[in-house]
Structure 1
Amino acid sequence: MSDAAEPLIDHDAGEEALWAALLRREPLPGRFYAVTTQGVVCRLGCPAKPPLRRNVRFFDSVAEAVSAGFRPCLRCDPQGARAGIHAAAVRAACADMEAAVSAGDAVPPLAALAERAGYARHHFLRLFRQVAGVTPASYAAALRARRLGEALAAGERVADAVASAGFGSESRVYEDGARVLGMTPGSVRRGGAGEVIRTAFGSSALGPLMVGMTGRGVCSIEFGEDEARLRAGLAARFPAARIEPADEAASEAVARVLAWVEEPCGALDLPLDLRGTAFQKRVWEALRLIPAGGTVDYAELAARLGMPQGARAVARACAGNGVALAVPCHRVVGRDGALRGYRWGIARKAALLRLEGARRG
């Protein structure tokens, strides 16, 4: 191994940027640095005190650094060994909670989940938030809300559905129905009865699209093969809602969407009625901060949200987005830059990125 006092990096622009990221403790997926005086390799973003620059070497993989004689850092776990163990423990806890909710039993408390996983309570709480992106309590609440929605949609009486889902009282669900379900329990049970959704259609360079709008804002922007299928998809989601032709606001919204597709510039600024869990909404708000023409990968977006092990949870939240373009999930790509799943088709995702890139250039 080279002497520690000898400069070990070339001061070119690429490594200048990596060094600046190291000092900021900024996570950069797929890039690592080794500290020659300590003999360890770390991921960029490691919480350890930054080393002297002359003692740093940069690598494209942990395997390359290990071959050069460095051992993985115990703090940032660049190989992901501990992260895999933590993720498995969290998945097991999630499975326990799902089983309890499905059976109509009480959700295990945090102390019991931590004991089963073999961690101290406070440590397991931190691990769960890192992996899942939410606390165990929030995850359990989302499971209860899902079970409640399924029971109501199946026609159960509200009181029975509330009890079987594990909510303490019917009044609590009614008081906070918008947060729990996106509408009142009675409306869910009636398949959206009482909801009025105005729809407008247009033909874009990416194919037919539909905008659905409630009194609160746009709740749906969907691409499809034709108007009939788009309308049928909305009707399946809200079988008893009143779906009516566009009013002035909905017509204006679809015109703005079509204009944006023709010339994508900046954010598509529309009043939105986003319906999802607290975590999903948090991810969707982060998506809206990605500028047109830019992309991030799932791991990077998870790191921005303070959950470095939460790439899969972020991907699921992206997949649950039903408001194309205004919530630009098409700007999230794989770590290698490859295009991953898009509910409106990979071809549309690629076309959108090309359009935005051409506009930016």
Structure 2
Amino acid sequence: MSIHNTEDYNRIAQAIAFMRQNHQSQPDLATVAQHIGLSEYHFQRLFTQWAGISPKRFLQYLNVEYAKSKITQTKNLLDLTLDVGLSSPGRLHDLFVNLEAMSPGEFKAGGAGLQIRYGIHETPFGKSLIATTMRGVCNLYFLDGDEHLSEQTLQLEWKNAQIIRDQQATQLLSEQIFYSVSLSTEKPLTLLVKGTNFQMQVWRSLLKIPVGGIITYQTVAEMIGRPTAVRAVGNAVGKNPISYLIPCHRVIRESGELGGYRWGLERKIAILGWETSDGVA
């Protein structure tokens, strides 16, 4: 198991941003490497170790036409599984993910009586804060900068909960989520979330998107039987409290443009490229 560090990810994110901004001119390896302050050799090596593919091949994931083809492919796969009654193709590594909704009373109580333990961990996409309860993972944030800000966000989200920093409590979860180190391949990973009925419908639909798949906000709206509620779907996707595990990064615009991402567009591209290139394998 190779644990990535934030410094490596930050360089990857810089490279992705540069390649995205200069996509039309197709910058060569030496140009991108120079931009992030590495030799061509070290940049190629770092990027390939991180993504499992070369920077040149990764560039294809920034292409609108490629994104459109993935949208069609994923939609066909989802339609097939629904038509013939197969189980959902959406999986994360070898983990099945279950979503448990808090009751309206628990939602209103703001986490009263709930003990939340959290830790901050290195991932292939920078540092993340993972928070968990006895009933399941309740938050996963990616961090950019001040760790205390994410800690404060967690406290604001669960105003009446007992919140304890406990690195050991979330270490195994981090390895399980990001590095395929399974505690048990038979046991689903449970997520405990609070949200409106509409938000829950949207988040459940995201769990059906297969790894490496991409769908549109319109398709999500159709999946929950609300085809005209595209804007509301976008808002629900943006409020997803458990990044990566509830894969809001796999939803993009109908045009093939990536749209926004709560945790930064470069990170969205990085995760999509990682998944599509089988970087998680």
TM-score above 0.5, yes or no: yes
1-structure distance, mates of 2:123, 2:131: 16
Residue of structure 1 aligned with 2:140, choices 221, 232, 235:
221
Residue 332 of structure 1: CA displacement? 0.4
Residue 157 (structure 2) pairs with residue 237 (structure 1): yes
Instruction: Note if contact 2:132-2:138 (Cα within 8 Å) is conserved in structure 1.
Output: yes
Residue 203 (structure 2) pairs with residue 284 (structure 1): yes
Q: What stretches of structure 1 of length at least 5 have no aligned partner?
A: 1-17, 27-176, 263-267
Residue of structure 2 aligned with 1:203, choices 106, 122, 135:
122
Could you say which structure has the larger radius of gyration? 1
Could you tell me which residue of structure 2 aligns to residue 312 of structure 1? 231
2-structure distance, mates of 1:251, 1:205: 15
Partner SS, residue 209 of structure 1: strand
Could you tell me which residue of structure 2 aligns to residue 359 of structure 1? 278
Could you tell me which residue of structure 1 aligns to residue 177 of structure 2? 257
Residue of structure 2 aligned with 1:344, choices 263, 273, 281:
263
Residue of structure 2 aligned with 1:324, choices 243, 268, 280:
243
Residues matched between the structures, number: 178
Q: Which residues of 2 match residues 60-209 of structure 1 at below 5 A? A: 178-183=102-107, 185=108, 187-188=109-110, 192-209=111-128
Residue 291 of structure 1: CA displacement? 0.4
Instruction: Note if contact 1:208-1:227 (Cα within 8 Å) is conserved in structure 2.
Output: no
RMSD: 3.0
Among the aligned pairs, what percent are the same residue? 32
2-structure distance, mates of 1:248, 1:301: 36
2-structure distance, mates of 1:359, 1:332: 18
Measured against aligned partners, the alpha-carbon deviations of 1:261-315 in whole angstroms (never above 9, x if no partner) come to x9xxxxx952110111111111111100100111001112211222221211211
TM-score by length of 2: 0.57
Instruction: Note if contact 1:209-1:222 (Cα within 8 Å) is conserved in structure 2.
Output: yes
Higher relative contact order (CA 8 A, sep 6+): 2
Residue of structure 1 aligned with 2:219, choices 270, 293, 300:
300
2-structure distance, mates of 1:193, 1:307: 33
Instruction: Note if contact 1:197-1:242 (Cα within 8 Å) is conserved in structure 2.
Output: yes
Measured against aligned partners, the alpha-carbon deviations of 1:110-160 in whole angstroms (never above 9, x if no partner) come to xxxxxxxxxxxxxxxxxxxxxxxxxxxxxxxxxxxxxxxxxxxxxxxxxxx
